[in-house]
Amino acid sequence: MTFLSDSGDEVSALTECVTPAREHALDRFHITMRETLLTQFIGGVAHRDKTKRARLLKALQRIKWLLRCGNLQRALAVARIAS
């Protein structure tokens, strides 16, 4: 069973009572919040190196597209390459 949540501890504990064979997935709202924070983080970290900033932002856009298409493994691979 898959639960869409913000992956908080309370939700995890509650769903454990329902079924031990569970999977948590972030909902679209919480994914978007994390994407926004990553974009701001990239802007702050790479503000002196415009080439690095552009590369990281391009990688983040690619990761977002891959996640929305359900391709977690490729998104993780892009994240590893970009870091």
Q: What is the pLDDT of residues 48-82, one digit of tens each?
A: 888 888 899 999 999 988 888 888 899 889 989 88
**Rounded distance, CA 42 to CA 58, Å?**
11
Is the pTM of the predicted complex or chain greater than 0.85?
Answer: no
**What region, left, alpha or beta, does residue 70 occupy, with left being phi > 0 and alpha being psi -120 to 50 degrees?**
left
**57 CB contacts (<8 Å, ≥6 apart)?**
39, 42
Q: What is the pLDDT of residues 13-44, one digit of tens each?
A: 666 666 666 665 666 777 788 888 888 888 88
